[in-house]
Amino acid sequence: MCSVGAYIYSLFLPGLLLDADVYHSYNSIADDAAPVVSGTSLLFFGWLGILEFEFAWLANSTNIIAIWAYAIANLDNSKGFSIISIILSVAALLLAITSYYAESWLLEEVGNTVPIIGLGVGFYVWMLSFSLLLIDCIISLRAYSSRAI
């Protein structure tokens, strides 16, 4: 599945671009490069966004359940699980889109935040992985429908 490959690839790319001035005011040993948050950091610490009512990270768990439903649909040739996988894929995509509304990244455990100034290429590859899964699910449902006739 290409969606899983794209998802894994997104973990190694920059996901968020942070405001350098604010970042460097908190982190004096940082170099002059623009601060970014990698996809891996987002996967491990993005759940903290839920505390600020930013729910994009939940797209990860929704995507895993959608992949599970997709796998069952293909193994059992089940129309029901195909529909469930499509619904979950759409939900994951919608949750991921809420990333556009994220305003800050929690920098330290003391509560310092850094404004997000942009989304990195990892974000777009992450979104691509959800889109590819949705396309796979739709193709799977269409294949099931053509076999059922």
Q: Where are the domains of the chain?
A: 2-148
106 vs 104: CA distance, rounded Å: 7
Q: How do residues 86-131 score in pLDDT, each as one tens digit?
A: 999 999 999 999 999 988 888 766 677 888 899 999 999 999 999 9
Determine how many CB atoms are found less than 10 A away from the CB of residue 84: 19
Please name the amino acid found at residue 147.
R
Question: Does the pLDDT at position 65 exceed 90?
Answer: yes
What six digits make up the tokens of 76? 């059992």
| pLDDT of 144 | 67
140 vs 19: CA distance, rounded Å: 43
123 vs 127: CA distance, rounded Å: 6
What six digits make up the tokens of 141? 């449902």
What six digits make up the tokens of 73? 């649909």
Question: Does the pLDDT at position 22 exceed 80?
Answer: no
| pLDDT of 134 | 94
